[in-house]
Structure 1
Amino acid sequence: MSYLVLARKYRPRNFAEMVGQEHVVLALSNALATQRLHHAYLFTGTRGVGKTTVSRILAKSLNCQGPDGQGGITATPCGVCQACQDIDAGRFIDYTELDAASNRGVDEVQALLEQAVYKPVQGRFKVFMIDEVHMLTNHAFNSMLKTLEEPPEYLKFVLATTDPQKVPVTVLSRCLQFNLRPMAPETVLEHLQTVLLNEQVPADVQALRLIARAARGSMRDALSLTDQAIAFGSGQLQEATVRQMLGSVDRTYVFQLIDALARADGRTVVDVSETLRINGLNAASTLEEMSTVLQRMAVLQAVPGLVADDAADPDAAETARLAALMPPDETQLLYSLCLHGRGELGLGPDEYAALTMVLLRLLAFKPDAQRAPAEKKTLNPASRPAERPARAAHSVAPQVAAAAAPVAPQQSPQAGQPVPVTPLPPGQVLPVIDSAPVSAVFEVNSQKPSVERSKSATDIVAVPVRVQAEPEPEPALSTGAADGADLAAVPADIRADNDGDFWYALVRQLISAEAVAALTRELALQSQLVARDGEDWLLRIERESLNQPAARDRLQQALKAAGHPARLAIEVGRVTDSPGRRNAQAVAEKMREAEAVIHADPFVQAMMRDFGAKIVPGSIKPV
């Protein structure tokens, strides 16, 4: 006697044996009990969730004759009458299954529909079941539309597909659609325990848990994997043998990797990755197991105690420990890296090298609030004495602002003495100061003996600095064209008074003369002149991509040709005033003026009042 595989042996024979599809079973059972039957049903879902099984049970329910031959339409077919047995055996003449994957043409569908004119021979209804219906051609779909919409009263259509998006809307509108969902791993696990108990096969719960996860919602796949595991384990299912068969990674390695990543231990990460390589464990399975653990960790971090109380899972305690060890933002980041890293495994030199890079990526982008910010090198590293004042201008702007505050007459410092710098109270914001020249005085050589400190002539260094003010949003010199095409030379009255106006006018002059272009032009437009000290100018930009040496050199050459031989230093920071911002404000102001003119026009107001006209947003353009 030939062996019958578990997937066929334990195929449900009635609705009561269906697992994981309660919503479909309830709807069909109620329809059969009240005999409110549709003429066409469409069952959708992934492989192995029960589409063909539901079709056969529905055919038995429609044609069941009962043990005594007097039965009618029922939601609980008897399974012993001739119709039920013939449908289970696949030889019922009034139940026809058509595989649309191999019979997808119009001729095959027409041959099936030709049988619709004949009444049932044995049963109460003819049932046409078309599997993988989305494989039919457009002509085949069109040929069945009329019969599908108004079939004879004794004919029922049952369609099944794994891809309902490919089924024409004209067919979907004629069917009653049911979506069979993928089954949860817990549901698959419970069913496997029942099956193996009937088969008297000893099984480890952890082994069945691995099979349930590997089935990915398909009960048929779970039963097929169980058959394979029984053969692989010589009649019993153990976690080690099932893990070896599936190529699954032991959770111990996963916990070691997550623990090492949480502690920023790169050596352990590399060592565990090398162990996976030596043991031949699957890299994709490693990332998949890590994603599962990280998802449970994220749930624990968001809802403490929700998963930690799961006593059936032996990994719950370790998962809870890691959830407390790793910050939530790192958990989310690592989860995202694991998901995207699975698609990169085939792109690396080998999958283990790609796995190591995915794991080390978290250490490279690890959020660390205690990490000291890297020192910004805002000026040219070449040690030129002329550049030191510019560096001081940027680094001591808060002290300069504090020193510029009004001082009572009786507290005025004597000539030659250091200016006291009073620290601001916590939370107080520095006031905006003018860009007039300010002298900042610093005491140096603070570690020398007190005898030398008395020599103010050598210990005090006066550094003249020009600090760029934080202007109000109102643009200055914004009446010209946005690109500065109509601007003449820089006016003499703003060359030394205001750095913002000076830089805005100078950039527009360069653009008008076509002295800068491409990235250099963008660098000039998006930068803010922070400080000037002779030939040393400090610019600030917000985007690091603009800080290119070649663009800076070309801008220096253009400034020199315009009569401003400057040595530029560029830093990255918050920009509050730049030519680009002023141009954008000028364009916005022109747009507001244009909209105000249109809205105030008497003709436009009359059209809106008398005919309900509306101004389309975005249709107004300033001239």
Structure 2
Amino acid sequence: SVSEADVRTMLGTIERSHVIEILRALADADAVALLAVVEQLSQQAPDYEGLLAELLTDLQQIAIAQVSAEAVDAHIEARDTLLELAQRMDPEDVQLYYQIGLIGRRDLPLSPDPRGGMEMILLRMLAFRPTTADQTETVARPVKLRPAATTPATNRASAPSASPTPAKAPVPSSAASVSEDSDWSSLVEGMRLKGMVRELAMNCTLEQQAGEQWQLTLDGEHQQLLNKTRQQQLEDKLAECLGKNLKLKIEIRGAASDTPARQRQREIDQRHAGAVEAITSDPNVKAFQKAFGATLHDETICPRDS
């Protein structure tokens, strides 16, 4: 007789347990466990695009459960496990994983090796997890070690009266090359943002700056990035970067053409176009095409500096 596992192996479909293992590894921020799951899957010649589709479906259900557990389909497979994961995972992380998964599913066919592409997508999910100070319970546990390392230095200095002043000391390290006169793209890089807060900043433009009042315009195509928590985090990071108190206001408008994200995409497109032109005009490539009837796929060409 033929078992379900045999059928799955022949068809390259994914066992449900592997998707759950990936979700648990993401919840634990365990990169080793993630790679171990991919290693197991690689023995079955899996459909990695199908795996991403199942992962995205489960992330959607987890996001729904974090809003209302009753809204999760009662008949969905592994419902109790997804509800458990909804309690363990930070909502902002879930949204980030979903977005990275969507982009990864689109780009997976461009990867020279499907398994390697899948590993990079999963590792990217962990690499871009937010590590803001107000999330120490979920994603910033390792950061708690840093204050312990700086305490002895403070004690050796024997200058407790100076300790209140360094409260703004971190400012120069992140703002050494930026100031209020810097363009918004430079400010975004100077703030060294991560995760969804960086995505929010990358899709904004600086509309107005009047003293402590700063107004940004968010590209309407990315309005889902805006919420009170991220706006406050961005305001705090900008104030820290510039070493001053300020109030940040963000308005949503139609498609913006000059956000850092769009600027970066234009640069990528220009470099890609230049690379395509260099390859297609190369005499050796032309000779190869003529001799063997070869076809050049532009989407597979990458600039050397990308």
Please give the range of the TM-score, normalised by the shorter of the 2 chains.
0.3 to 0.5
TM-score normalised per structure 2:
0.46
Larger radius of gyration: 1
TM-score normalised by length of structure 1: 0.24
Determine which structure has the larger helix proportion and give its number. Answer: 2
